[in-house]
Amino acid sequence: MRGPHNIWRLIRTGATLERTGAMNVVLDAFDATPALRFVAKALGKPFKFLGYAGDPSMPPATRALTALGPAYIKFGQVLSTRPDVVGDELAVQLRVLQDKLPPFSIEQAKAEVEKELGLPVDAIFSDFSEPVAAASIAQVHRATIAETQEDVAVKVLRPGIEKAFRKDVDAFYLAARMVELFSPGSRRLRPMEVIEHFDGVVRGELDLRLESSAASEFAANTKGDAGFQLPAIKWEYSARRVMTLGWADGVPMGDNAAIDAAGHDRVALGDRVLQLFLNHALRDGYFHADMHQGNLKVAPNGDIIAYDFGIMGHIDEYTRRVYAEILFGFIRKDYKRVAEVHFEAGYVPADKDVDEFARALRAVGEPIFGMDATRISMARLLTYLFEVTERFGMETRTELILLQRTMVVVEGVARSLNPHINIWEVSNPIVTDYISKSIGPRAVIKDLSKTAMVLARFGPRLPALVENALIRQQDETPPQRPAFRRWIILSAIVGAGTATGIIAILQALS
């Protein structure tokens, strides 16, 4: 569906941006060139009368996106996780974007449930309420399972939402191509990749089986975490467009008065929410990436309950180790080591000066560590760190931007519960424990165990692989053959210490 017919959608978008006063805000955030500004104005200003008015009480950008509908609301929310693309100021505006739309009727919801689960709603649920929450993609109903009388939340996708999103996403792809064409400098922000990322997020949220799977994996990872619980997924009552999970009873995390009235310790809750997030990110590499107050409750027993698993973050084990060592280097004020880690990981181009980079990192760390302990912000450290690495040519890594954004949100939740929280003091046990396991002697033993398993699996094939590779080199010129043999020997020596090295050699030889 991508093509010129999407120009009408872009005209309506431009007209709405003009009418709501958001056009210049958006263009400034993207550092638009004169050519791109001309095209954007041409698509919007003459057709301003066609734009939606939106809610005048909202900031311009959120007003425009809310007026344009579900796909634009979701796009704004995803962009709020990418301050590297839209800038910090606009990212903050988009972060508070209201994801509330008029609900669709209970009759439509029941029809969707019956179609997906293959049974009448009354045969499954003895009670099925009016919508209790309505968002851009789905809405939630409270229900009671007829067989067990258990209270559950039933999430149902909006009728026709897939087709509506597909149309708007097609227009987004066209807009990204136009941005790249008329603003070559914007290519460093990789607008097409931003849209592809958004497309992937939306495709995941439009299949509730994937969200159910994410919730299930998250629950398996965190089942041993004290003071933390997740609503259980009811797989037998879930499908592609319907998701059923246990009802989360508790006090909203954002209501301090209600938390106090219920007798909960806000200081302990603030510590716990931060430590839980760090554990999930560092220990598991899989974390709730939308951990704001609206997705958290405090159970009657004081446990923190998390829900809404549409946006989850993933960090591979190697990246977790790298960033743990970076964080540990900052804690020790060893800026040279922090710089070296960036170069060793390939995050900063090798042609840059490591000593100059270390001095830039010192400029990041020293002012922060000079603050009073209660004012030190890990989120601010991450923000400054990314600013410096960008200046030195570090490429944007979406998963780390998502980690940074989530860290900012979680830190905000913790400080709202306890304004005097000492972020470093609370974080230190989690970070230290992870470093001791991932970088210390225990990590070496773990790596050697993985290496032994890889050798056990591929060991019998190694002689044949090496022999075949050497035979294939017989037709090459003599100067190349010794070089290749030296490469084989060197790779075997260097790579034998890690499972990753062995796998790399096998891949090269196959």
| Percentage of residues of the chain with pLDDT beyond 90 | 28
pTM of the model: 0.72
C-beta atoms surrounding 186 within 10 Å: 19
**Closest C-alpha among 279, 278, 281 to residue 317:** 281
Task: For residue 262, give both structure tokens.
Answer: 């219920």
Task: For residue 72, give both structure tokens.
Answer: 């634009």
pLDDT per residue of the chain (510 residues) written in tens, 0 to 9: 455 667 788 888 888 988 888 888 888 776 677 877 888 888 778 888 888 888 888 888 888 888 888 888 888 877 776 665 676 677 777 766 655 678 899 999 999 999 999 999 999 999 999 999 888 889 999 999 999 999 999 999 999 888 888 888 888 888 888 777 776 666 656 777 778 877 887 887 889 999 999 999 999 999 999 999 999 999 999 999 999 999 999 999 989 999 999 999 999 999 999 999 999 998 999 999 888 888 899 999 999 999 989 888 888 888 888 877 877 787 778 899 988 988 888 888 888 899 998 998 888 778 766 665 566 666 666 667 667 776 787 766 666 667 777 887 888 889 889 988 887 788 878 878 887 777 666 666 766 776 677 667 766 776 776 777 777 766 555 554 555 444 444 444 444 444 444 444 444 444
**Closest C-alpha among 227, 242, 220, 249 to residue 150:** 249
Q: What is the pLDDT of residue 113?
A: 96
Q: Where are the domains of the chain?
A: 4-100+164-197, 105-157+207-247, 249-439, 444-509
What is the strand order of the sheet 242-246 is part of? Answer: 125-134, 138-145, 151-157, 242-246
Q: What is the pLDDT of residue 119?
A: 94
Q: What is the pLDDT of residue 491?
A: 46
Secondary structure class of 409 (helix, strand, coil)? helix
Identify the architecture of domain 105-157+207-247 in CATH: 2-Layer Sandwich (3.30)
**Closest C-alpha among 14, 13, 6, 7 to residue 40:** 14
Instruction: Check: CB of residue 204 under 8 Å from CB of residue 310.
Output: yes
Q: What is the pLDDT of residue 72?
A: 84
What are the φ/ψ torsions at residue 158 (nearest 5 degrees)?
Answer: -65, 140
Please give, one letter per residue, the 3-state secondary structure of 454-476. HHHHHHHHHHHHHHHHHHHHHHC
- Residues with catalytic annotation? 290
CA distance 286 to 277: 10
Phi-psi region of 3 (alpha: psi -120 to 50; beta: other; left: phi over 0): left
Q: What is the pLDDT of residue 382?
A: 65
Instruction: Check: CB of residue 470 under 8 Å from CB of residue 508.
Output: no
Q: What is the pLDDT of residue 107?
A: 95
